Amino acid sequence: MEIEKFTEQIKEGYSFKTDYITLGGAMVNNEAVANLFVNIPLKTLNRHGLIAGATGTGKTKTIQVLSEQLSNKGIPVLMMDIKGDFSGIAEAGEKTPFIEDRHTKMNLPFEPKAFPVELLTISKQNGVRLRATISEFGPVLLSRILDLNDTQSGVMSLIFKYCDDHQLPLLDLKDLKKVIQFITNEGKGDIEKEYGRVSTASTGAILRKLIELEQQDADLFFGETSFDIKDLMRIDENGNGYVNILRLNDIQDKPKLFSTFMLCLLAEVYNTMPEQGDSGQPELVIFIDEAHLIFKEASKALLDQIETIVKLIRSKGIGLYFITQNPTDVPDGVLAQLGLKIQHALRAFTDKDRKAIKLASENFPSTEFYKTNEIITQLGTGEALVTVLNEKGIPTPLAVCMIQAPMSRMDILTPAEIDGLIHKSTLKDKYNNVIDRESAYELLNKKLSEIQAEEPVAEKKSKTTATPKKKDDGFFTKQVVKVLTSATFIRGAFGVLTKMLKK
């Protein structure tokens, strides 16, 4: 009777009139129920989501399954691959006895398949290089990334204004550093005349924070050619959406660079994409693995900016999915915006772990079929608690889901396969050729060279036009002696002395 009631509730909760993708099969009493599928409507995939769970519980394979299903529906994906274990999606998987048994239990067909993949990079790894210019960031966004105070932010705005007024393009970090050095030294007078006095303490603080960002290889990210967001939204000749994998497995110790890139990406997507409201399916789905790296060292201003973009970007047809070990890694303001929740197993080793499990359990809809706080620690690998938003935006009943196996390879590509994939890329030539055109750095260096070349000429001219000294001939000395020995001077001096002695 319980199975029948459970089956009826899940069928009703996960049946949709519009198109959907299938995550896997529903489970009760630790067993999958045949033909009882956990589906996600395409219409609400832009409502964002969270995929959480302890290490080794199957989060990466869940993302792989979601990416495959989206690609099959012609929806492009951007995956932030922090651990470097996602590249296998470019090659077809194998039908093993374990996979066949898993899919038989769910009565879900399985066919190995490869998917169109583009490998991207913002660091020293190989791939199609993503870049953005300093000008594209603008003074407000850059100030928030650098965590500048109000005074320093005002100076940053002044720097951008000065560069706009004097046709000094700001493309990379060396451009911005050169302008700061110029207005602090040689150009200080010009700046004060046009815009008012600039504190050297403020410019020094900004310069130090730029150097900190540069030490995390931000100089590889800032520059040209700027990446066109539309190149993330390509469909291949078979109608499958491209799975864009951003290779970030050397970025763990560079959280500032990761936060900078993510904020730039989200802002650029928001500014570029047209308003479309709730359409039939998203234009792009972004998976952010190890999401705590974005929030780890972010200032309050930066967190506020991210939270604002998460709220607004939904209407542009973009879905954001945060992947992390514990839901508490994501700020409450962001968590509140997430519609889909996939919770893999959590482990309870400490009091802190038990509190986190209690909090995670309370975020799911109540159900008579599971004791959420208990089952969350008992889930097997590739199993997860799931709730999504239906077509009306209402949370579906809570279900324990046996995630279907990825159709693509579950192992990573070899270095040779990665090189071959990059070599075949149609975007490689567009973005990997370094362009360093004349900008603020070169223009200011040219200006300083001209000033230095003019200085010797000016000095020589001043020497040749200077008035020659007249010969003294003792005239000045004679006049001084005449004054000092005059009766008037002597009387005045003695008068002063007499008054002082009387006192």
Per-residue pLDDT of 222-258, as tens digits, reads 999 999 999 999 999 999 999 999 998 877 777 777 7
Q: Which of 288, 247, 251 is nearest to 413 (CA)?
A: 247
> Within its chain, how far is the Cα of 223 from the centroid?
16
What does the block give as tokens for 213? 């960002």
Identify the pLDDT of residue 290.
Answer: 83
Give the percent of the chain with pLDDT over 70: 89
- Find the DSSP H helices in 196-279: 200-214, 255-272
Model pLDDT, residue 292:
81
Q: Which residue is listed with tokens 């000092």?
A: 484
pLDDT at residue 455 tops 70: no
Position 457 scores a pLDDT of 55
| β-sheet bridge partners, residue 499 | none
Q: Read off the pLDDT of each residue in 440-452 and give the average, rounded to a whole number.
A: 86
Candidates 265, 267, 262, 260; CA nearest to 309 is 267
- Cβ atoms of 279 and 321 within 8 Å: the answer is no
Per-residue pLDDT at 459: 57
Is the model's pLDDT at 491 over the cut of 70? no
Q: Which two tokens stand for residue 39?
A: 């589906």
- What's the average model confidence in pLDDT over 20-36? 93
Q: What is the DSSP string of 74-135?
A: T--EEEEESSS--GGGGSB----HHHHHHHHHHT---------EEEEESSSSSSEEP-B-HH
> In this predicted model, which residue has the larger pLDDT, 501 or 259?
259
Is pLDDT at 434 greater than 50 in this prediction? yes
**How much is the average pLDDT of 326-344?**
88
Q: Provide mean pLDDT across the span 365-369.
A: 86
The per-residue pLDDT for 293 is 77
Mean pLDDT of 8-26: 95
pLDDT above 60 (res 190): yes
pLDDT at 358 over 90: no
Which residues pair with residue 321 across a beta bridge? 49, 287
Report which of residues 111 and 252 the model is more confident about. Answer: 111
Q: What sign does the CA torsion over 4, 6, 9, 10 have?
A: negative
Q: Is the pLDDT score of 430 beyond 50?
A: yes
Tell me: cis bond preceding 225? Omega within 30 of 0 counts: yes
Running DSSP on this structure, what letter comes out for residue 188?
A: H
pLDDT at 77 over 60: yes
Residue 343: per-residue pLDDT: 93
Count other Cβ atoms within 10 Å, centred on residue 34: 13
Per-range mean pLDDT, top range of 82-91, 348-357, 493-502: 82-91
Q: Give the pLDDT of residue 170.
A: 94
Mean pLDDT score of the chain: 86
Distance CA 91, CA 115 (A): 7
Cα–Cα dist 115/46, whole Å: 22
Distance CA 115, CA 101 (A): 24
Q: Which pLDDT band, with edges at 50, 70 and 90, does 297 fall under?
A: low
Q: Identify the top-confidence range among 232-246, 306-320, 462-476.
A: 232-246
**This prediction's pTM:** 0.83
Given this model, what pLDDT does residue 100 score? 95
pLDDT at position 246: 93
Report the C-alpha gap between 393 and 387 in whole angstroms: 12
Select, from the ranges 231-235, 431-435, 461-465, 475-479, the one with the highest average predicted confidence (pLDDT): 231-235
Q: With both helix axes pointing from N to C terminus, report the angle between 300-313 and 134-145 in degrees, rounded to the nearest 10.
A: 120
* Fold of the 2-130+237-413 domain: Rossmann fold (3.40.50)
Strands 383-387 and 77-81: unpaired
Mean pLDDT of 445-472: 64
pLDDT confidence of residue 93: 94
pLDDT digits (tens, 9 = 90+) for 152-169: 999 999 999 999 999 999
